[in-house]
Structure 1
Amino acid sequence: MMKRSFINSAYYKLGAMALACVFSTVASANWSLDSEQSSVNFISIKKDTIAEVHHFNQLTGSVNDKNIATVAIDLNSVSTAIEIRDERMKTVLFETETFPLATITTDITLDEVNASPVGTVTVQNVDLALTLHGETKSYSTQLQIFKNNKDTLVVNTTAPIIVNASDFKLLAGIEKLRELAGLSSIASAVPVTATLVFNQGK
C-alpha cells in the first residue's frame, strides 16, 4: 500500500508539474505584430468631394500576458502616393521631429479567443486609446478577432474610427497643408481602419 501510494503521489506531482509548465507557457507567451500583414489606413477628403486612401508602412506591436494590445505607428512612414505630400504631412502636420510615433492601446480578452476553435470569429467591444501629437483620446469601438490558427490572430475594426484633428491639436497643420497645396478645403475629420495580424511566440 505504501509503495502504491508513493507511486500515485509521484505521478500526481509529475502531472501537476506538467500542467503548471503548460499553463505557464500559454499564459506568458506574447503575441507579436506581423507588420508585413498588418495595415492602418485613413481617408482624407479635399475640395469637399475628393477622397483618397492613405496608409503607414511601418507598424510594430504586441499583446502581452495581461491582454494589453499595443501598436506603434511610425508617422515618418506615411504613404499617400505623392512624395511631396508625404513630406509635408511629416513636417507640417505630424511634426515628426517632435512626435515621431502614434500609439494605439486596448485590452483584448484572450481567454475567450483561446477557448474558441480555429476558424472562429469573436467580436469584442473595447475602449481604444489613441496617442497622437502629444494628445490622447479614447474611442469606444468594436473589434472582430479571427482565429486563423492556434498561433495567429487577425484583428479588424468592424467600422471606421472617426479621428478629429481638433482632438490632437492638428488643425493648424491641416490649414497649412491646405495653403501649401492651394486647395479650397481639407476635411479635419478622417475615418481610420485597421487590420492587425498577431503571431504567438514569434
Structure 2
Amino acid sequence: MLKTLFTGATLLLLSPIALADWSLDNDLSRVSFVSVKKNTIGEAHYFKKIAGELTQSGQFSADIQLASVETLIPIRNERMAQYLFNTKLSPTLKLNADLFEHLKTLKTDQSQLLNIPANITLNGINKTLAIDVLTTQLGNGNIIVSSFMPVIINPADFNLTAGIEKLQALAQLPSITQSVPVSFTLTLQKN
C-alpha cells in the first residue's frame, strides 16, 4: 500500500502539469478568429478547448483542440473540423514560445508590451511568427497574455487552402477570405 502511494505521488510530481508553474485556465481563455464570406460578411469564431502551461524557466506551450471550433452553426463546426482542420490526422494546433527573458522583468500589477517569436505547428507544418502581446501579472500571481495586435494567418502557409475551397463549395459561396486575423486572451493560473 505504501509503495503504491509513493509510486502515485512520484508520477504526479513528474507529470508535465505538476512541473508547470502556471496552468492555462480554459474558462478564462479564448482564441478567436474572423472569417469573411462573400467579401462583405465577417463572422467571429473561437475554440472551446485550450490547454497550456508556463514553466518558471519561461517555456510556454499551448494546445488548441481544433475539433472544438465554435462558429455558432453546428454543421459549419463539423465541416471546419473535417475539411479545413482535418482533425482526424491533425487534431491540435500547438504553440511554443520561450518567455524566460520576459518573465525575469515581469512585475506584479504591471503590464509589458512584448514581441514574442512563437512556433506554431498546424496541419503538420511548423512556422515561427512574431506576435505582439500584452502581458500582465496580477497580484495573486496569475498572468494574463493577450494579443496586442491580431495575428494574421495565411492559410496557404499551413496547407489549408484546399479546405477553404471545400468549405466554399459546400456552402455555395463565391468567396471565403484567404487571410485570417486571430486574437487571444490567455489566463495562466499560478500553481
The 1:183–1:29 alpha-carbon spacing in structure 2 relative to 1, beyond 3 Å, is closer
The residue identity in structure 1 corresponding to 2:61 is: T
The residue identity in structure 2 corresponding to 1:159 is: M
1:179 aligns with 2:169: yes
Instruction: Tell me by how many angstroms 1:127 deviates.
Output: 0.3
- Greater Rg, structure 1 or structure 2? 1
Q: TM-score, normalised by structure 2?
A: 0.86
Of 66, 70, 84 in structure 2, the residue corresponding to residue 79 of structure 1 is 70
The residue identity in structure 2 corresponding to 1:110 is: L
Q: TM-score, normalised by structure 1?
A: 0.82
Gapped runs of 5+ residues in structure 1? 1-27
Deviating beyond 3 angstroms after TM superposition, the runs of 4 or more aligned structure 1 residues are none
CA contact (8 A) 2:94 2:122 kept: yes
Identity of aligned residues (%): 36
The 1:121–1:171 alpha-carbon spacing in structure 2 relative to 1, beyond 3 Å, is same
Instruction: Tell me by how many angstroms 1:111 deviates.
Output: 1.1
Instruction: Tell me by how many angstroms 1:136 deviates.
Output: 1.3
Gapped runs of 5+ residues in structure 2? 1-18
Aligned position for 1:8: none
Measured against aligned partners, the alpha-carbon deviations of 1:80-129 in whole angstroms (never above 9, x if no partner) come to 0000000000111111011000011112221111xx2x321112221011
CA distance in 1, matches of 2:155, 2:165: 11
Which is worse superposed, 130-139 or 143-152?
143-152
SS at match of 1:48: coil
Aligned residues: 171
1:64 aligns with 2:33: no
CA distance in 1, matches of 2:56, 2:84: 35
Paired residues for 1:155-174 under 5 Å = 155-174=145-164
1:130 aligns with 2:130: no
Aligned position for 1:192: 182
Measured against aligned partners, the alpha-carbon deviations of 1:106-164 in whole angstroms (never above 9, x if no partner) come to 12221111xx2x32111222101111111111111221111122421110110000001
